[in-house]
A and B are shown apart, each in its own frame.
Chain A
């Protein structure tokens, strides 16, 4: 299993010696190129693990980078470019998933946890911050009186 994995890894790397963005891909207009880079960083290389197409050296990532640049040069807005890529490859391609029914727990959880924690902390602070004044028992009162009296 491990050996097969290594083989796969080796093949992947060997089959696509290109490393990330190549000079021939770069757009002449720096502003457009900057937009392309920003979009690329948001898109997942589909055949890699946890790499954006901007970082990846896979052939498929290169194809995607070229598509992104074609759309940008064609006059698409960033949003439209991303929509186009998602329409072709699905939501899986987005490294930052969109808010939807599927991802509502993902996006909502940090906020909810923060809120719950905050409420718990405040109620804890309130509970301990205003301690109920403890009444002395009659025995203690008597002892106290005796002590003061002496």
Chain B
């Protein structure tokens, strides 16, 4: 009964969303406040209904109600509670429910925090959110109903794909969707502005916090997914340029560009049309990502939960929303007045360069991901586009951007002083190069090109510190005054510095681990030793163990560095009983930012077992950098000028001396 209630709530939510999609738009046209207010109430009602519906599904999973087909297919009563809950979105139907839940959540937040928005803009934004929600609810109800029942009721579920039985499943999809779907708000703002035919700096100010929030979550989601793949898949890779990864990476690239162009628009009223287009493109890439993953058009490492028959429906959604938005853009954009004059060498100029490189990178990833598909459809020829292609093209595109990042914040708006910025970055560049050479020497080599990669990462880190240094005035004021000014800097300044620093840290980690990692593949018998990264591993033998729904062979390794005991590592191979599916659980030990990664291979006939040992120097910097970027996002989001619901700047912040520096 409760299951049917959940199903029914979803139908009601669809009805609400359809009303929400129509009435407020008419209200905004006619200037009818009553009709426009439907937007807020409708959004709240829709949110409540979707939460209820999602809650029912989650309940079915938690109590292992195998009369529900979806639960039966993807759960098992022996699974730990946290996985039973996370299993809700570990499949196609459930993940679409999560998508919808988060979409409704964002709509609700716009309705709740958007009290300061002009009524027409708010009504239009919420209505556009309603369009998206309607489309996805139709999709769920017509093609992917998670509430379908089974008779007779099976006694036991079929278990969740073992690769997904991990804490990562509980965290990664929600974070990723908070990012993905968060960009829907930017999209809706763009469409609302186009419908209204009016757009100004205030619009950019309202859009920026949503962009920032979505971007921060997407950063978290991608980093989390990367770390999950790293430790779960057992071959030590952390980024595969897999189509599914690309699907989340493209909106991130476009979203990063949007974040920067919205800044130009807010401060200088320039790049209006471009910002609107970028807002549309970013969410279009999110939709495309959903399509790529959910339609099964590209089967990949993430090949679970795919079904080509649904592809047509999502393709329809894609065509209507992207095509419709771009058509509206083509009609309305010429009406928007361009504004804001600036010289090429200026903060704006630097941000345009940022946008150019980021969007071309996003386009490159898009082309590389879709090209094999298109070529095969058009000519029947099959080619592959994989990591070597993306590493080359993406690397070439990113290198100039990394060099440019520290310059951006140091250039003034309107007309910047490149020579001045160079003089200020002299120390950062010198330090970066020296440290890079030092690191290269200590780690004994690799390709010489790596020095430049390391230096680029370090340059971005030191560059962001340089920015804070000069903003606070450490160069000309006494230390105490500069410290006080540093504390008084707007939080967005720290946000920028942190986000850029995080990028530098991630780049440093990527270059370092790619250049300096070592791999040892050996057959080991109990008592044998192997070396990696200066550590000696002694294999202690295999032990049998059993978990709630799997059995495993656990390999035990003792660690030493020289004569010093450094503890132990367990690495295991599991067999999940319900699906008879084996997985590898790598043994990972962190030493500072570096990791020792031990993965078990096949048992050999003579009692030995193949062991793969990687020494991954500085690898944690990759995700640590992402954490710093996220911290930058949150700090910036907490800036009072951007805080949702605080449109007017408080007078106290506007210390003239600091404002001039921006």
Contact = CB atoms under 8 A, between A and B. Distances in A.
B367 interface: yes
Interface in B279-317: 299-301, 303-307
A128 to B, nearest CB: 5
A117 interface: yes
A93 B306 CA distance: 25
Interface stretch (B322-330, B334-342, B539-547, B616-624): B334-342
A73 to B, nearest CB: 18
Interface string B253-266: 00000000000000
B21 interface: no
Interface stretch (B75-83, B109-117, B375-383, B631-639): B375-383
A5 interface: yes
A23 interface: yes
Contacts of A22: 521, 601-602, 610
B379 A102 contact: yes
Contacts of A142: none
Nearest to B601: A19
Contacts of A102: 375, 379, 381, 383
Contact of A23 (B523, B579, B599): B523
B581 A117 contact: no
Contacts of A124: 352
B601 A110 contact: no
Contacts of A50: 240-243, 300-301, 384, 386
Contacts of A91: 381-383
A118 B384 contact: no
B579 A6 contact: yes
A24 to B, nearest CB: 8
A55 interface: yes
B371 interface: yes
Nearest to A122: B344
Contacts of B579: 6, 10
A91 B418 CA distance: 47
A19 B356 contact: no
A85 B151 CA distance: 52
B488 interface: no
A121 interface: yes
A95 B384 contact: yes
B612 A20 contact: yes
Interface string B413-457: 000000000000000000000000000000000000000000000
A42 B349 CA distance: 38
Given A2-B304, A96-B392, A109 B364 contact: yes
Contact of B385 (A52, A106, A118): A106
B306 A2 contact: yes
Contacts of A105: 367, 371
B334 to A, nearest CB: 15
Given A1-B307, A50-B301, A125 B386 contact: no
Contacts of B387: 41, 52, 95
Interface in A1-55: 1-3, 5-6, 9-10, 13-14, 17-23, 26, 41-42, 44, 49-52, 55
Contact of B367 (A20, A42, A109, A129): A109
A141 to B, nearest CB: 23
A131 interface: yes
Nearest to B338: A128
A129 B393 CA distance: 32
Contacts of B388: 41-42, 95-96
Nearest to A8: B303
Contact of A125 (B349, B367, B375, B612): B349
Given A2-B73, A102-B375, A121-B356, A19 B341 contact: no
B585 to A, nearest CB: 13
A97 B521 contact: no
B63 interface: no
Nearest to A114: B360
A13 B342 CA distance: 58
Contacts of B31: none
Nearest to B382: A92
Given A94-B384, A95-B387, A117-B360, A49 B342 contact: no
A2 to B, nearest CB: 6
B516 interface: no
Nearest to A118: B356
Nearest to B300: A49
Interface string B511-525: 000000000011100
Contacts of B364: 109-110, 113
Contacts of A23: 521-523, 610
A74 interface: no
Contact of B307 (A2, A21, A44, A129): A2
B179 interface: no
Given A22-B521, A121-B356, A55 B382 contact: no
A89 B358 CA distance: 36
A123 B599 CA distance: 55
Contact of A121 (B73, B306, B352, B385): B352
B235 A19 contact: yes
Nearest to A16: B602
B270 interface: yes
A90 interface: yes
Given A10-B580, A55-B235, A102-B381, A5 B303 contact: yes
B363 A52 contact: no
A117 B401 CA distance: 15
A106 B235 contact: no
Contact of B237 (A5, A14, A55): A55
A107 B270 CA distance: 32
A18 B363 contact: no
B303 A95 contact: no
B326 to A, nearest CB: 17
A77 interface: no
A144 B357 CA distance: 46
Contact of A90 (B270, B382, B392): B382
A128 B379 contact: no
Contacts of A83: none
Contacts of A70: none
B146 interface: no
B107 interface: no
B161 interface: yes
Given A14-B581, A19-B612, A110 B384 contact: no
B593 interface: no
B582 A17 contact: yes
Interface in B364-378: 364, 367-368, 371, 375
A2 B299 CA distance: 12
B158 interface: yes
15 contacts: A2-B304, A9-B161, A14-B581, A19-B584, A23-B522, A91-B383, A96-B388, A106-B367, A106-B371, A110-B397, A117-B360, A125-B343, A125-B349, A128-B338, A129-B343
Interface of A: 1-3, 5-6, 9-10, 13-14, 17-23, 26, 41-42, 44, 49-52, 55, 90-97, 102-103, 105-106, 109-110, 113-114, 117-118, 121-122, 124-125, 128-129, 131
Given A41-B388, A128-B270, 7 more contacts: A23-B521, A41-B387, A92-B384, A96-B389, A106-B389, A113-B364, A117-B356
